[in-house]
């Protein structure tokens, strides 16, 4: 079943049926002011932090309420409805609506009883407040009088938990007043008697507002209970039913901002207005509202700006292939998902409330990879930040606080860090993610100066980027397990697999092996002969160890516990086949061709399903070892044999590196949201963004997906597709092109910005192969092999690549 379609031209997903199987949301704003809005206008807003800066309330895990509601009432018939289908929820045979989720804006259109409404929600570029720009048109042939009411439900406290549960406090600090064109909410207003700069209990007065521009306020309400009325809900607020609000604020209990205006429309006539909300001092709020006096013009300009900013970001990499699903994901939705995950980390969605008050090290370093080909400068800033969260012993801080202060942080070796973050120890993989990320950044940009840039460590000391990477190698070398592979420490990528401090993970060993290959490139660049030798020796030793210890006939095992148990061997009753060690054996370059073929074949046979490959098989149930935390999850769920979508990206990459284009693309398609647009009732999640996992075949809900938007899937699948399938493989000195595609593709095109040049690449495949290079022309000149040295690039570079 489908609920909408992709509008390629406008880069919008258009929802034509509002009764979607789950709230389908969009992100607005920036880290200064974030807003999440669903296709039924549910959602919340926050300044800086989802947990500590919550401005508009949203009840998690409930009915996608409340939200940014606009009610319309016909004052003759007294019938009312909302500009989004919910919360009033008119019969869909009479109420028609469309929701357009675009890049950082959402537009909702509704037609009901001859009235057309269009509301555009957005946060203007660089601003920290939100706009609900409404246009109402009378499409009937009689004059209409319509009451328009905007409703914003403020939290009583910026800390979302205090707002939700500490009612004996949070309900007695809030009040609202009316200021002509706005409701002003004050929190801790009783402290306004204090002198400038004085605080009580770290608290002072602060202000939120909900205002109206473009029309005159005819009535208002600042008290949620008065607005809704006893035993009423958002679907039938008494203020809306009555057609006029009570003109009263609140003093204690629950604040809200509700503003009504009455408009009269001749047949064919339209009126435009803007509701505005934010956390601002009252004088600033007044200025903001005044800025929208001519809201039609102001909003049009702002939206244009927003769209061109985002479309500009996406324009750095665009493709045209025979697959519309692939194109829409790579050109728009996966790319936009990468940006959102990059910006919001795991902080705020309808699943994450913002309580994780920092950046997970591995998550963030991986997220960066998804935007390197689109916005390398943005990536660079975050890489610097993450390097500054590396401890001087080379390990990464498991959680990097939003208040991170390089050079002055505590580490997992300090009780204070553990207490504050809840992370008891280092994890084995954190700093190892830096290698592919930093390498990809330098290869994309050619910014070699960065290698020598000095960056502080998290706790003390500083070093060049090269030194940081060397210390990451030291960290693993200084933490080896019983056999001499990197120790398991607290966990590896799989949070639910505790091999023990001295256990050993094959995945980490492979990452470490790969890290050495990458660092050799840096060492060669630095002409650091001694270090090259060191790496060569250590890598050879490690490679031998992995081969001896981890290869098990047709697969790589998952690792060893500190008691010496082997995890993931062929004969285990449960979890005897794992996905990640197979894909990473290929990505790391360790697997021989035979091993790669066998292991990937086993993945295909044992783990693949129509929605992607499951993380391992069979699920843990009665034979879990001590550290197999995944057993707490129902079989087929999350790390317990769910389709953990992030791992799908590595599988795509691994198959593509082997030249298995058919398989690589198949793995993309199985789990691609856009490819499931017609099966939305199964997937349930938005068909335009990734989720953390899909329920595996051991679940009765096989195919249902969860944890939308903020997931490492965005970046790994992006890398799998761009580097793997499309074969864009920059290195320090140029660009290697090595597509790995379905045989039936005859031709595809890539438009890519690269090191200040614009590349237009046409790949032709008349012989219908999956991989390979027959001929390569750059600006008409034939080059040997599939490699373009940087010197061959010109401002506009025409590249013709013949696979066959």
Q: Which residues bind ligand GLC (CB under 6 A)?
A: 346, 360, 362-363, 493-496, 639, 692, 712
Nearer to ligand GLC, 363 or 562 (CB): 363
Which of 769, 764, 759 is CA-nearest to residue 795?
759
Closest residue to ligand GLC: CB criterion = 495
Tell me the CA distances in angstroms from 442 to 277, 389, 483, 546, one per residue in order: 41, 20, 34, 29
Which ranges of 171-281 does DSSP label H, i.e. alpha helix? Answer: 224-228, 238-242
Residue with tokens 């403020």: 154
Closest separation between CB of residue 159 and ligand GLC, Å? 23
With beta carbons less than 8 A apart as the criterion, state whether 754 and 793 touch. yes
Closer by beta carbon to ligand GLC, 42 or else 354: 354
Return the number of the residue (338 or 596) whose C-beta is nearest ligand GLC. Answer: 338
Report the sign of the C-alpha dihedral through residues 771, 772, 773, 774, in that order.
negative
Q: Which is nearer to ligand GLC, 150 or 503 (CB)?
A: 503
Write b or e for each residue in 748-779: b if 16 or more Cβ atoms lie within 10 A of its Cβ, otherwise e.
bebebbbbeeebebebbbeeebbbbbeebebe
Bridge-based pairing state of the strands 796-802 and 757-764: parallel
If DSSP codes are grouped into helix, strand and coil, which group holds residue 119? strand
Distance separating alpha carbons of residues 425 and 404, to the nearest angstrom:
18
785 CB contacts (<8 Å, ≥6 apart)? 773, 776
Pairing of strands 358-360, 399-401: antiparallel
CA triplet 234, 239, 240: central angle to 5 degrees? 70
Residue with Cβ nearer ligand GLC (11 or 346):
346
CB 665 within 8 A of CB 648: no
At its nearest, how many Å lie between ligand GLC and the CB of residue 709? 12
Shortest distance, position 710 Cβ to ligand GLC, whole Å: 9
CA distance 115 to 70: 14
Taking the complex as a whole, the smallest distance from the CB of residue 324 to ligand GLC amounts, in Å, to 29
Question: Residue 15 or 347: which CB sits closer to ligand GLC?
Answer: 347
Q: Report the C-alpha gap between 241 and 695 in whole angstroms.
A: 43
Tokens of 686: 């938005």
Q: Which is nearer to ligand GLC, 531 or 644 (CB)?
A: 644
Query: Measured from the CB of residue 712, what is the shortest distance to ligand GLC in angstroms?
Result: 6
**For the CA atoms of the chain, what is the radius of gyration?**
28
Minimal distance in Å, beta carbon 494 to ligand GLC? 5
Say what angle helices 645-657 and 593-602 make with each other, to 10 degrees.
140
Cα dihedral 138/236/159/388 (nearest 10) = -40
Cα–Cα dist 285/328, whole Å: 39
CB 493 within 8 A of CB 362: yes
Shortest CB 615 distance to ligand GLC, Å? 9
Of residues 363 and 410, the one with the C-beta less far from ligand GLC: 363
Give the number of other Cβ atoms within 10 Å of residue 197's Cβ: 6
Q: Among 690, 600, 700, which residue's Cα sits nearest to residue 646?
A: 690
Question: How far, in Å, CA of 685 to CA of 682, rounded?
Answer: 9
Do residues 538 and 485 lie in contact, with contact meaning Cβ atoms separated by under 8 Å?
no
For ligand GLC, the closer CB: 406 or 712: 712
Pairwise CA distance, residues 417 & 426, whole Å? 11
Tokens of 88: 């009033």
List, by residue number, the catalytic residues.
495
What is the smallest separation between the CB atom of 570 and ligand GLC, expressed in angstroms? 24
Least distance CB 723 / ligand GLC (angstroms) = 20
Judged by beta carbon, residue 596 or residue 698, the one nearer ligand GLC is 698
Distance from C-alpha of 792 to C-alpha of 57, rounded to nearest angstrom: 55
Least CB distance from residue 492 to ligand GLC, whole Å?
Answer: 8
Query: Min. distance of Cβ 518 from ligand GLC in angstroms?
Result: 20
Tokens found for residue 653: 């990459």
What span, in angstroms and rounded, lies between the C-alpha atoms of 752 and 374?
9
Instruction: Find out whether the peptide bond into 285 is cis, omega within 30 degrees of 0.
Output: no
In angstroms, rounded to a whole number, what is the distance separating the alpha carbons of residues 194 and 391?
43
Give the nearest distance from C-beta 496 to ligand GLC in angstroms.
6
Of 539 and 692, CB closest to ligand GLC: 692
54, β-bridge pairs: 46
Both tokens of residue 306?
């927003």
Nearer to ligand GLC, 326 or 350 (CB): 350
User: ∠ CA 564-567-570 to the nearest 5 degrees?
Assistant: 125
Q: Which is nearer to ligand GLC, 208 or 346 (CB)?
A: 346
Neighbours of 599 (CB within 10 A): 24
Least distance (Å) between residue 400 CB and ligand GLC? 13
Q: Tell the burial category of 106 from Cβ atoms under 10 Å away from its Cβ (0-12, 13-18, 19+).
A: buried
Residue 1 vs residues 9, 19, 672, 709: alpha-carbon distances, Å? 23, 12, 16, 21
Alpha-carbon distance of 278 to 292, in angstroms, equals: 14
């Amino acid at each position: 079943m489908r609920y909408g379609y992709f509008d390629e031209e406008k880069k919008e997903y258009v929802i034509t049926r509002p009764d979607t199987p789950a709230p389908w949301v969009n992100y607005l704003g920036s880290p200064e002011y974030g807003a999440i809005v669903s296709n039924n206008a549910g959602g919340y807003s926050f300044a800086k932090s989802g947990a500590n800066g919550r401005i508009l309330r949203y009840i998690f895990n409930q009915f996608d309420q409340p939200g940014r509601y606009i009610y319309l009432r016909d004052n003759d018939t007294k019938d009312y409805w909302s500009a989004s289908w919910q919360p009033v929820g008119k019969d869909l045979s009479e109420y028609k609506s469309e929701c357009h989720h675009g890049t950082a804006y959402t537009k909702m259109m509704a037609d009901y009883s001859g009235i057309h409404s269009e509301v555009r929600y957005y946060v203007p570029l660089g601003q920290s407040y939100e706009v609900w720009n409404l246009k109402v048109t009378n499409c009937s042939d009689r004059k209409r009088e319509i009451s328009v009411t905007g409703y914003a439900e403020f939290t009583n406290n910026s800390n979302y938990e205090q707002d939700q549960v500490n009612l004996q406090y949070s309900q007695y600090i809030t009040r609202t007043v009316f200021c002509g064109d706005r409701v002003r909410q004050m929190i801790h207003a009783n402290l306004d008697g204090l002198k400038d700069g004085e605080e009580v209990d770290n608290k002072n007065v602060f202000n939120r507002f909900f205002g109206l521009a473009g029309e005159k306020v005819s009535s208002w309400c600042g008290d949620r209970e008065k607005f809704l009325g006893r035993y009423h809900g958002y679907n039938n607020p008494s203020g809306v039913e009555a057609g006029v609000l009570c003109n009263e604020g609140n003093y204690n209990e629950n604040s809200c901002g509700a503003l009504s205006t009455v408009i009269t429309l001749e047949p064919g006539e339209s009126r435009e207005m803007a509701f505005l909300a934010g956390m601002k001092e009252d004088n600033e709020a007044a200025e903001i509202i005044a800025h929208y006096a001519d809201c039609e013009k102001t909003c049009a300009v702002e939206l244009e700006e927003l769209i061109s900013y985002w479309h500009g970001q996406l324009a750095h990499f665009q493709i045209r292939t025979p697959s519309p699903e692939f194109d829409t994901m790579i050109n728009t939705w996966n790319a936009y998902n990468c940006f959102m995950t990059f910006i919001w980390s795991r902080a705020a969605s309808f699943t994450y409330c913002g309580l994780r008050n920092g950046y997970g090290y591995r998550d963030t370093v991986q997220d960066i990879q998804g935007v390197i080909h689109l916005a390398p400068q943005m990536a660079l800033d975050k890489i610097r930040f993450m390097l500054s969260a590396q401890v001087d012993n080379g390990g990464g801080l498991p959680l990097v606080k939003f208040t991170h202060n390089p050079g002055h942080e505590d580490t997992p070796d300090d009780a204070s860090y553990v207490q504050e973050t809840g992370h008891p120890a280092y994890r084995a993989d954190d700093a190892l993610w830096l290698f592919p990320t930093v390498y990809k950044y330098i290869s994309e940009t050619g910014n070699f100066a960065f290698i020598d840039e000095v960056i502080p460590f998290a706790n003390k000391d500083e070093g060049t980027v090269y030194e940081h990477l060397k210390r990451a190698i030291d960290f693993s070398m200084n933490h080896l397990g019983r056999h001499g592979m990197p120790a398991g420490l607290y966990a590896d990528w799989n949070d639910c697999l505790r091999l023990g401090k001295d256990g050993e993970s094959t995945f980490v060993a492979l990452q470490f092996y790969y890290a050495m290959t990458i660092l050799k490139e840096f060492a060669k660049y630095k002409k650091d002969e001694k270090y090259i030798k060191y790496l060569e020796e250590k890598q050879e030793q490690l490679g031998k160890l992995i081969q001896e210890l981890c290869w098990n006939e047709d697969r790589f095992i998952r690792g060893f516990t500190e008691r010496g148990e082997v995890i993931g061997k062929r004969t285990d009753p449960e979890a005897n086949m794992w996905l990640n060690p197979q894909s990473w054996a290929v990505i790391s370059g360790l697997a021989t061709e035979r091993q790669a073929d066998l292991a990937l074949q086993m993945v295909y046979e044992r783990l693949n399903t129509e929605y992607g490959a499951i993380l391992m098989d069979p699920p843990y149930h009665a034979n879990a070892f001590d550290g197999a935390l995944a057993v707490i999850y129902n079989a087929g769920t999350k790390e317990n044999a769910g389709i953990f979508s992030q791992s799908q990206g590595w599988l795509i990459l691994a198959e593509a590196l082997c030249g298995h284009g058919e398989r690589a693309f198949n793995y993309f398609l199985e789990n691609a949201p856009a490819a499931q647009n017609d099966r939305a009732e199964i997937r349930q999640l938005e068909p335009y963004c990734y989720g953390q996992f899909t329920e595996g075949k051991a679940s009765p809900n096989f195919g249902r997906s969860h944890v939308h938007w903020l997931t490492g899937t965005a970046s790994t699948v992006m890398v799998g597709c761009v580097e793997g399938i499309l074969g864009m493989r920059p290195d320090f000195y140029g660009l290697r092109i090595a597509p790995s595609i379905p045989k039936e593709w005859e031709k595809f095109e890539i438009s890519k910005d690269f090191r200040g040049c614009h590349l237009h690449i046409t790949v032709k495949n008349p012989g219908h192969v999956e991989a390979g290079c027959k001929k390569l022309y750059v600006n008409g000149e034939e080059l040997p092999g599939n490699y373009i040295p940087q010197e061959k690039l010109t401002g506009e570079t025409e590249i013709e690549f013949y696979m066959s």
